[in-house]
Amino acid sequence: DIDGDKLSIDSASVSSDQGTVEIVDGKLVFTPAENFNGDAEITYTVTDGTLTDQATVNVTVNAVNDTPEVESNIADQTLAEDFTPYSINLNTAFSDVDNVDGELSFSVSGNNNVLVSIENGIATISPTADWNGSEILTFTATDPSGESVSQTVNFTVTPVADIV
C-alpha cells in the first residue's frame, strides 16, 4: 500500500472444478479438487480498509500417479466339477483414473487347480479334470508406474458323479 496502511485479503475465489480457496490467518489456502492437475487461477481482493484492489495468481498443480481401484467386485464362484470354461472381464472389475483402457496389466495368484489365463484383461477360467474343492484366487491390477490393487475371489468346485 502506497500509504503504508495494513493490507488484508477480503475475499478469494477459484473455479470449483479446480479446487477451493480459503482465507486462513490472513493467508490464502488453496486445496486442489480431487484428481485435478494443471493450472488453477485464484482471484482475490485486497483491502487497506478504505480502498480495494483485485488480482489473480496462477497455481500449477502437478499430476501424481493414482493407484488403480476395484471398480466392481468379482462375485465368489461356485462351479460344478469339469465346468465349461468361461471368462471374467478384469477391465471392468478394475479401473485407474489416470490410465486409459489397456494400460493396466493383470495377474492372478492362489490358483493351483483352477486354471486361469489372462489376455488383454480377459481372464479365462478353466477346470482341472476331475478336481473339486476350494481355492481363493487373488486378481491384481497394476498400472505402468507399478501401483496395484487386488481383490480375492473364492472358487468352489463341487463334485459331480463320474459316469463309469
Q: How do the domains of the chain map onto residue ranges? A: 8-61, 69-158
> Which of 42, 35, 54, 37 lies closest to 14, judged by CA?
42
The mean pLDDT value for 105-111 works out to 97
The mean pLDDT value for 97-104 works out to 85
Q: How far apart are the first and last CA of the chain?
A: 98
80-91 pLDDT, tens digit per residue, is: 999 999 999 999
7-29 pLDDT, tens digit per residue, is: 999 999 999 999 999 999 999 99
The mean pLDDT value for 93-120 works out to 93
- Residue-by-residue DSSP string for 82-111: TPPPEEEEHHHHEE-TTS-TT--EEEEES-
Written as nine digits, the cell of 109 is: 495368484
Number of Cβ within 10 Å of residue 33's Cβ equals 15
Whole-prediction pTM: 0.73
* pLDDT at residue number 4: 78
> Which of 6, 40, 41, 2 lies closest to 26, judged by CA?
6
The mean pLDDT value for 60-69 works out to 94
* pLDDT at residue number 1: 66
CATH topology of domain 69-158: Immunoglobulin-like (2.60.40)
**Confidence at 61, pLDDT banded by 50, 70, 90:** very high
